[in-house]
Amino acid sequence: MRKQIVAFGEVMMRLQVPGYELLTQANTLQYSFSGTGVNVASAMTKLGHDGYLVTRLPDNPLGDAAISSLQRLGISRNFITRGGKYLGMYFLENGFGQRTSRVTYSNRLESSFNTASLSDYDIEVIAENTDIIHFCGITLAMADNVRESMKVLAKKVKEKGGIVCFDCNYRPSLWEGGYNKAKSHYEEMLAMSDIVMMNEKDAIYILGMEAVSTSREEQLRELIPKVAKTFNIHSIAGTHRSINSDNTHSLRGYMYKDQTFYFSENNSFSVYDRIGAGDAYTSGILHGELAGFLPEKTVRFAAAAGMLACTIVGDTPMSTENEILSAMAGEMEDIKR
């Protein structure tokens, strides 16, 4: 049952001010290494699979530290290439209450990953050994060489019988040409994908679809089946999230599969670190599909995984299947001894 889960993506160094100070107040940072691919690959190892990352890291102490960190998370170093000179970084200042968290990026366009080309990766070997491969829309925004590697890798994995998962995740600040420039690249990826993470907003903004209905759920029910049909996608899943006035968050997951929608409850919960919750949700969907859960269980499992990820320090989900099942069952123990 242990599957080979491969993610393609950039490793970012996260440099976080501890506690609630600002960068102008503090003098220490906590660092870790993450990214959507890291999060998904690592989360899948916690769920019992073997996680791999296809990426490029500089051959210097920062690259060494990144690899040590990925290995600590259980990710294999086997598909990681060394080369280039820099590592993308982001600084995180935690918000509190009405004060929003802030992220400041270094110049990630010059990172080893974003300057790597197709020939830096051993595509054939990777494709031979992949059960599921995961891609993210943020990676798609980077550069032509990155997009080329991404598409070729998706194509090869599909040819070899692997499952392609694509998370539409769109970050406006990264696309100079905006939705117009992004659209065709997204469509290319969708056409090769078996499992897609998105919601109605992605359909409207990225794919330029129009909705008759107005509520989010109605728009979802209207547009997602069209996307699935157009691109011949096996399963589409995603979440609706909101921040409540008492600083708790709410999350409701959905999955569309075999022409049917499945929804989780709309859970409300306290949040310690919300970065990476979407990746935990994705991992829950992938694991549910691999494990043969019923769709209604898969979507609830994924939602619980997303909720637990918000209670974990750092970007990267750390919960096991048992822990997620227990949270899904709503069990709230005092202390687990």
Rounded CA-CA distance 85/17 in Å is 25
Q: Strands 88-93 and 12-16, how do they pair?
A: parallel
Q: How far is the CB of 288 from a copy of itself (least distance, A)?
A: 19
| Cβ proximity to a copy of itself, 42 vs 235, nearer residue | 42
Q: Strands 12-16 and 163-167, how do they pair?
A: unpaired
178 in contact with a copy of itself (CB under 8 A): no
Q: Which of 117, 215, 270, 329 binds a copy of itself (CB under 8 A)?
A: 270
| Cβ proximity to a copy of itself, 110 vs 218, nearer residue | 110
Q: Site for a copy of itself (CB under 8 A): how many residues?
A: 73
Q: How far apart are the first and last CA of the chain?
A: 30
Rounded CA-CA distance 107/114 in Å is 11
Find the part of the chain contacting a copy of itself (CB under 8 A) among 179-187, 223-231, 254-262, 267-275: 267-275
Is the distance from CB of 148 to CB of 122 less than 8 angstroms?
A: no
**Which two three-digit tokens encode residue 331?**
């069990």
Q: Which residues of 146-171 are buried (b: 16+ CB within 10 A; e: fewer)?
A: bbebbbebbebbbeeebbbbbbbbbe
**Which two three-digit tokens encode residue 101?**
């968290």
Single-letter amino acid, residue 125: V
Q: How far is the CB of 275 from a copy of itself (least distance, A)?
A: 7
Dihedral of the alpha carbons of 311, 316, 321, 326, in degrees to the nearest 10: 0
Find the part of the chain contacting a copy of itself (CB under 8 A) among 81-89, 138-146, 257-265, 286-294: 81-89
Is the distance from CB of 116 to CB of 81 less than 8 angstroms?
A: yes
Which position has the token pair 């921040």?
A: 243
Show contacts with a copy of itself in window 8-67 (CB under 8 A).
15, 18-25, 27-32, 60-62, 64-65
266 in contact with a copy of itself (CB under 8 A): no
325 in contact with a copy of itself (CB under 8 A): no
| Cβ proximity to a copy of itself, 161 vs 172, nearer residue | 172
Q: How far is the CB of 313 from a copy of itself (least distance, A)?
A: 5
Q: How far is the CB of 220 from a copy of itself (least distance, A)?
A: 20
Half-sphere exposure of 176 (CA within 13 A, CB side): 3
Find the part of the chain contacting a copy of itself (CB under 8 A) among 179-187, 195-203, 250-258, 326-334: 326-334
Rounded CA-CA distance 309/331 in Å is 16
Q: How far is the CB of 333 from a copy of itself (least distance, A)?
A: 5
Contact pattern for a copy of itself over residues 237 through 256, marking x by CB under 8 A: ------x--xx---------
Show contacts with a copy of itself in window 292-321 (CB under 8 A).
307-308, 310-314, 318
Q: How far is the CB of 117 from a copy of itself (least distance, A)?
A: 19
Q: How far is the CB of 107 from a copy of itself (least distance, A)?
A: 5
Rounded CA-CA distance 203/225 in Å is 11
